[in-house]
């Protein structure tokens, strides 16, 4: 072996040793980075899951705050003004019970539960929690006396004028939180659960542990002060050994405004496997291992035989080059796989698996992905949904009479301008039934592709409740309307009685002739037709409208005037209609029956105000109610002005609130003006206003003409 060869062998041996040492150092550094990456990923997953729990709790707190705001503090008690909002809150949220504990020790229960003798809500943990925090918060789990189940209570102190009037609470069964929020499967055996700062288990997939065991008891390796980190840090990770699972990672995060910790436990091997699929560090680890093996082989080969290295140097170089080509291909495949896995993980971990709304992702109108909630509300499998477009899941026409294809086209065009779209839409289930939904639609770009994200919430229960409330308000007027029918029929019945008496007298006096009979029959038929027309008017008033359509404004006003005519005459009130809009018909889009109900309700209130003013002032003179219609090219305005007592200025901002009435519980429900405002503004897209005049009150209705809203 010549000097050049010997020198080359020495140099290559030294280089191989250096490469081997460098590979060993970098391999150790890479392992450290891998461990840090695993810990960071688990910590981030715990933080995201904790945020979902916080979002879920905040949604329930908003419902509780809205309910507390709608309960009149000066009318607390077993009455409709208090019980109505409690029962509506039970239907709006996942609550088993909504209730109020008064500062006097009285319990008002929305579930109609009757407390046992000696029960004092002021001694219950939910009442004490609200008094202690002074704000909306939630309690630790306890056994509810109504359902006998483990619940958490969302509580809010009811403070009026700086004084505690009581505490409102809403119970949520812990199974609801576990099913809707913590139903999260991490890898094969990992899972999420809730504990108190002391380690007491609050929510756990194993119900035997809930409020019966500490985390230190079921995981002995966490004893000895390891959970003291809960007192020092709000988030972090703990490594421990868990029975057959071996080395395990516990990631924790404090739930805001509580002493609860969201914990995520995953065996280290499974966490390692999950992270391996989502990061390039493992590819680098594999490369370093290969390089280490190659360096070791080279070092042994050079030290053993320079001659063999020389003879096979060319073949070795060729093998290294081939291996580098293969490694390049492997790296590209790994990079592609990691990217795709990250996309799938992002979709399912952050959006699909924890979403309470149906989520659809589509390219154009064709769906490309959906979550389990979408399968549930449409009654279709994932594959069936992905074969359909949004129009396939919708009826041909929307409730406002517009074509679904035209409406969704306008919505998508607006979304492409960068505007997030919020709208109500009617969908079809697999059985052909339709249901209303609230839709949040957003167009975004991913990998140079335009995608549409639709979040869909089934609001059929809320819409049904509003419809029932609207119909109930109509039925509340049945008593008054029956009185009006009786008054309308009194004169025709007297006339019919006279005709019958005339027949009897004519027959007795032998004066019964054909002309006389024809005259009496014609007169009787006229009176019967009048009575039949009265019944038709009132029957149409109580029939609920099901679909929007063209509404003749003057036709509606005439119908309302006919319904109230007898009551106005009985009260010596003059009801007049003035047309300042011209001879042409004025048509708006809406529900004719509901619009008649709005006008009747306002006219009835005006009549009551006049009669009340007459009693207070002792004035027996005739009073007036004037209906004036005015309109421009796009808008029509209806003013209803009375000469009653007006509305106290300090009450004007409250008259449209639900359950608010100035007539007392025996004379009114407080829902008439609230429902009228809902019909005019939410169902017909108009505006309902109230103000005082020098002689009484004025209610103003503003509506868009049908041509102005683009409806033919």
Q: Is residue 2 part of a domain?
A: no
Q: What is the pLDDT of residue 100?
A: 93
Helix (H, G, I), strand (E, B) or coil at 276: helix
Helix (H, G, I), strand (E, B) or coil at 237: strand
DSSP state letter for 390: T
Last residue of a domain, one of 255, 273, 291: 273
163 and 235, same domain (yes or no): no
Q: Is residue 208 part of a domain?
A: yes
Instruction: Give me the domain span that covers residue 184.
Output: 177-273
Q: Which two tokens stand for residue 161?
A: 């004028």
Helix (H, G, I), strand (E, B) or coil at 377: helix
171 and 185, same domain (yes or no): no
Q: What is the pLDDT of residue 665?
A: 46
Q: What is the pLDDT of residue 107?
A: 92
Q: What is the pLDDT of residue 617?
A: 64
Query: What gap in Å lies between CA 629 and CA 553, rounded to an integer?
Result: 9
Query: What gap in Å lies between CA 629 and CA 641, rounded to an integer?
Result: 12
pLDDT less than 50: residues of the chain: 309, 665-666, 709-712
Q: What is the pLDDT of residue 687?
A: 94
572 and 695, same domain (yes or no): yes
547 and 425, same domain (yes or no): no
Q: What is the pLDDT of residue 690?
A: 93
Last residue of a domain, one of 405, 427, 458: 458
260 and 148, same domain (yes or no): no
Length of the chain: 712
Q: Is residue 700 part of a domain?
A: yes
Q: Is residue 348 part of a domain?
A: no
Phi and psi at residue 404, in whole multiples of 5°? -60, -40
153 and 186, same domain (yes or no): no
Can you spell out the DSSP letters for 448-465?
Answer: TEEEEEEEEEE-HHHHHH
DSSP state letter for 139: P
Last residue of a domain, one of 116, 150, 176: 176
Query: What gap in Å lies between CA 627 and CA 67, rounded to an integer?
Result: 36
514 and 630, same domain (yes or no): yes
Q: Residue 230: exposed, middle, or buried by beta-carbon count in 10 A (0-12, 13-18, 19+)? A: buried
Number of domains in the chain: 4
491 and 531, same domain (yes or no): yes
CATH classification at residue 89? 3.30.450.20
428 and 443, same domain (yes or no): yes
pLDDT, tens digit (0-9, with 9 covering 90-100), for 383-404: 999 888 988 989 988 877 788 8
The vertex-420 CA angle with 414 and 424, nearest 5°, equals 85
Q: Which two tokens stand for residue 32?
A: 């450290």
494 and 452, same domain (yes or no): no
Let me know: does 45 contact 264? Beta carbons within 8 Å.
yes
Let me know: does 255 contact 54? Beta carbons within 8 Å.
yes
Q: What is the pLDDT of residue 399?
A: 77
Query: What gap in Å lies between CA 595 and CA 544, rounded to an integer?
Result: 11
Q: Is residue 327 part of a domain?
A: no
CATH classification at residue 502? 3.30.565.10
81 and 198, same domain (yes or no): no
* Order of strands, sheet of 366-370, starting from the edge strand that comes earlier in the sequence: 366-370, 358-363, 449-458, 434-446, 421-428
- H/E element, 478: helix 478-508
Let me know: does 681 contact 688? Beta carbons within 8 Å.
yes
**Phi-psi map region of 95: left, alpha, beta (phi>0 left; psi -120 to 50 alpha):** beta
Q: Is residue 7 part of a domain?
A: no
Q: What is the pLDDT of residue 390?
A: 85
Q: Is residue 82 part of a domain?
A: yes
Can you spell out the DSSP letters for 555-573?
Answer: HHHHHHHHHHHHHHHHTTE
584 and 498, same domain (yes or no): yes
Helix (H, G, I), strand (E, B) or coil at 72: coil
Q: Is residue 46 part of a domain?
A: no
């Amino acid at each position: 072996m010549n000097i050049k060869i010997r020198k080359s062998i020495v140099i290559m041996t030294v280089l191989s040793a250096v490469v081997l040492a460098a590979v060993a150092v970098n391999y150790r550094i890479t392992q450290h980075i891998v461990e840090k990456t695993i810990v960071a990923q688990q910590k981030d997953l715990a933080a995201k899951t904790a945020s979902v729990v916080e979002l879920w709790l905040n949604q329930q707190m908003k419902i509780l705050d809205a309910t507390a705001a709608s309960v009149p503090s000066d009318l607390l008690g077993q009455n409709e003004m208090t019980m109505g909002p409690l029962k509506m809150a039970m239907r709006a949220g996942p609550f088993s019970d909504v209730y109020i504990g008064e500062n006097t020790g009285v319990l008002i229960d929305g579930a109609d539960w009757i407390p046992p003798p000696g029960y004092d809500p002021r001694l219950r943990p939910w009442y004490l929690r609200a008094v202690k925090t002074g704000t909306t918060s939630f309690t630790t789990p306890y056994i509810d006396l109504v359902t006998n189940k483990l619940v958490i209570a969302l509580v809010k102190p009811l403070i009026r004028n700086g004084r505690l009037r009581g505490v409102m609470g809403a119970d949520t069964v812990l199974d609801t939180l576990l099913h809707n929020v913590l139903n999260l499967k991490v890898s094969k055996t990992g899972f999420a659960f809730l504990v108190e700062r002391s380690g007491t288990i609050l929510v756990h997939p194993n119900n035997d542990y809930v409020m019966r065991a500490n985390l230190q008891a079921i995981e002995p390796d966490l004893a000895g002060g390891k959970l003291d980190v809960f007192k020092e840090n709000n988030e972090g990770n703990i490594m421990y050994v868990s029975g057959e699972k071996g080395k395990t990672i516990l990631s924790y995060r404090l739930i805001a405004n509580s002493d609860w910790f969201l914990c995520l436990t995953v065996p280290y091997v499974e966490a390692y496997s999950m992270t391996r699929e989502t990061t390039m560090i493992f590819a680098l680890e594999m490369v370093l291992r290969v390089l280490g093996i190659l360096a070791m082989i080279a070092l042994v080969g050079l030290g053993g035989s320079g001659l063999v290295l020389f003879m096979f140097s060319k073949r070795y170089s060729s093998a290294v080059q081939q291996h580098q080509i293969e490694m390049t291909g492997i790296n590209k495949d790994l990079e592609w796989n990691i990217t795709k896995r990250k996309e799938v993980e992002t979709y399912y971990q952050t959006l699909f698996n924890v979403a309470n709304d149906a989520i659809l992702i589509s390219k154009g109108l064709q769906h490309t992905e959906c979550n389990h909630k979408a399968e549930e509300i449409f009654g279709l499998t994932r594959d069936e949904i992905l074969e359909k477009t949004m129009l396939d899941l919708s009826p041909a026409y929307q409730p406002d009479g517009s074509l679904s294809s035209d409406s969704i086209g306008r919505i998508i065009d607006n979304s492409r301008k960068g505007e997030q779209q919020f709208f109500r839409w009617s969908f079809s289930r697999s059985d052909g039934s339709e249901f209303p939904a609230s839709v949040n639609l957003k167009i975004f770009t991913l990998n140079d592709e335009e995608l549409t994200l639709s979040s869909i919430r089934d609001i059929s229960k809320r819409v049904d409740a509003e419809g029932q409330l609207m119909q109930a308000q109509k039925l509340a007027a049945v008593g008054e309307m029956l009185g009006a029918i009786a008054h309308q029929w009194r004169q025709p019945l007297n006339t019919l009685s006279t005709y019958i008496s005339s027949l009897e007298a004519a027959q007795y006096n032998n004066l019964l002739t054909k002309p006389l009979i024809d005259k009496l029959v014609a007169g009787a038929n006229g009176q019967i037709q009048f009575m039949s027309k009265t019944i038709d008017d009132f029957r149409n008033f109580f029939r609920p409208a099901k679909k929007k359509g063209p509404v003749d404004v003057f036709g509606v006003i005439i119908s309302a005037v006919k319904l109230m005519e007898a009551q106005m005459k009985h009260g010596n009130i003059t009801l007049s209609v003035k047309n300042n809009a011209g001879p042409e018909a004025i048509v708006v889009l809406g529900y004719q029956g509901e619009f008649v109900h709005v006008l009747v309700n306002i006219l009835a209130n005006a009549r009551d105000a006049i009669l009340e003013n007459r009693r207070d002032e002792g004035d027996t003179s005739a009073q007036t109610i004037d209906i004036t219609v005015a309109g421009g090219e796009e808008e029509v305005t209806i003013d209803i002005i009375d000469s009653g007592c007006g509305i106290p200025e300090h009450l004007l901002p409250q008259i449209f609130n639900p359950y608010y009435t100035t007539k007392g519980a025996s004379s009114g429900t407080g829902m008439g003006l609230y429902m009228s405002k809902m019909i005019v503004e939410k169902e017909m897209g108009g505006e309902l206003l109230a103000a005082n005049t020098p002689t009484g009150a004025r209610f103003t209705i503003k509506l868009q003409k049908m041509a102005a809203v683009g409806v033919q």
